[in-house]
Chains A and B, each alone.
Chain A
Amino acid sequence: MLIETDILVIGAGPAGSSAAKHAALNGSEVILIDKKSEIGAPKRCAEGVSKEGLKKLKIEPSSRWVTKELSGVLMKAPNGTSVWLNEEKVKLPEAGYILERKVFDKHMAMDAARAGAKIMVKTLATGLERKDDSLIVTAETMGEEFKIKAKIVIGADGPESRVGRWAGLKTTIKPKNMESCAQFEMAGVKMDDPDSIEFHFGSVAPGGYAWLFPKGDDIANVGLGILTTETDKSAYQHLLEFVENCPATQNAQPVELNIGGDPVGGMLKELVTDNFMIVGDAASQVNPLTGGGIISAMEAGLYAGQVAAQAIRDDDCSKAKLKKYQERCEENIGKKFKRDLKVKEYLLSLSDEELNSIAEAFQDIELENINTAELIKNLIKVSPKALLKLGKLF
Chain B
Amino acid sequence: MIVNEWCMYCGECAAVCPRSLIEVRENSLIFNEGCKECRICLKVCPVQALEKEEDSELS
Contact = CB atoms under 8 A, between A and B. Distances in A.
Interface string B2-17: 0000001011101111
B11 A236 contact: no
Interface string B28-43: 0000000000001001
A162 B23 contact: yes
Contacts of A173: 15-16
A124 B15 CA distance: 17
A236 B15 contact: no
A234 B45 contact: yes
Given A159-B11, A260-B10, A260-B12, A234 B26 contact: no
A161 to B, nearest CB: 7
Given A36-B26, A122-B26, A175-B16, A182 B47 contact: yes
Nearest to B43: A228
Contacts of B45: 180, 234
Contacts of B22: 160
Tier of interface size on chain A: 20 to 34
A257 B46 CA distance: 11
A175 B46 contact: no
A259 B43 contact: no
Contact of B10 (A174, A261, A263): A261
- Among B8, B18, B22, B44, the one with the most A-chain Cβ atoms within 10 Å of its Cβ is B44
A175 B43 contact: yes
B16 A172 contact: yes
- Among A172, A178, A181, the one with the most B-chain Cβ atoms within 10 Å of its Cβ is A172
Interface in A222-254: 228, 234-236
Contacts of B25: 35, 124
Given A236-B48, A261-B11, A174 B16 contact: yes
Nearest to A260: B10
A377 B24 CA distance: 48
A160 B44 contact: no
A326 B23 CA distance: 27
B47 A44 contact: no
Contacts of B8: 42, 257, 259
A259 B10 contact: yes
A372 interface: no
A357 B40 CA distance: 36
Contact of A228 (B10, B18, B44): B44
Nearest to B14: A160
Contacts of A335: none
Given A159-B15, A261-B15, A175 B44 contact: yes
A178 B13 CA distance: 10
A224 to B, nearest CB: 10
B16 A260 contact: no
Given A172-B18, A172-B20, A234 B11 contact: no
7 contacts: A42-B8, A160-B14, A172-B16, A236-B46, A259-B12, A259-B46, A260-B46
Given A122-B26, A124-B26, 4 more contacts: A159-B12, A173-B15, A178-B44, A180-B12
